[in-house]
Chains A and B, each alone.
Chain A
């Protein structure tokens, strides 16, 4: 087999041209595309990481806020319960006082009414006795009875004077 120098040179030049063309038209765009894609992936990962971080922060804040809100709500509930208990106690005391006052008032009114009834009964009784006695004495008492009454009255006056 003959080795021809010009053939070898032609093959070398041919390879160099093909290599150069492939490098220029295929390798560089592909590398550039891969770099851009890698950059996009890196950006997306970074954005995802930031989003995850923000989400964690939001979750943490949410949990913290929830805990604080629960504490505040518990405090408020406790305070409200205490106020309600105090109010209930005050109202109960007030109601008790009012009931006692009403009861005392009613008892006093009843006592007054009772006294008034007794007074009226006494008065009516005295008036009846007075009327009957006046009638009887005006007609039926004789001189001896009057004399005895005078003696008795004189003794009373002697003691009273």
Chain B
């Protein structure tokens, strides 16, 4: 049974069509869904941060800098 997931993709600028396709393909492969919502968030500074329900997959610059600061 495939439960509905809430997936939010955060970026600093809107995703291009190709990037949206790439995100959808990745989500299909990993979570069996292509549905996601976009959110523009300048606080992440750059890159992408994906929230799948309450799980965060952070590849943003903010995340990397935070990791570096906490190292």
Interface size class of B (residues with CB under 8 A): 20 to 34
Q: Are A153 and B47 neighbours in the complex by a CB distance under 8 Å?
A: yes
B14-63 residues with Cβ-Cβ distance < 8 A to A are 15-16, 19, 22-23, 26, 30, 42, 45-48, 50, 57, 59-61
Contact with A along B58-71 (1 / 0, CB 8 A): 01110001101111
Known: A126-B68, A161-B30. A154 touches B23 (CB 8 A): yes
User: In the complex, what residues of B have CB within 8 A of residue A130's CB?
Assistant: 65-66, 68-69
Q: Pick from A133, A138, A145, A150: contact of B11, CB below 8 A.
A: A150
Q: A: which residues have CB within 8 A of B?
A: 122-123, 126-127, 129-130, 133-134, 137-138, 141, 143, 145-147, 149-154, 156-158, 160-161
Q: B: which residues have CB within 8 A of A?
A: 11-13, 15-16, 19, 22-23, 26, 30, 42, 45-48, 50, 57, 59-61, 65-66, 68-71
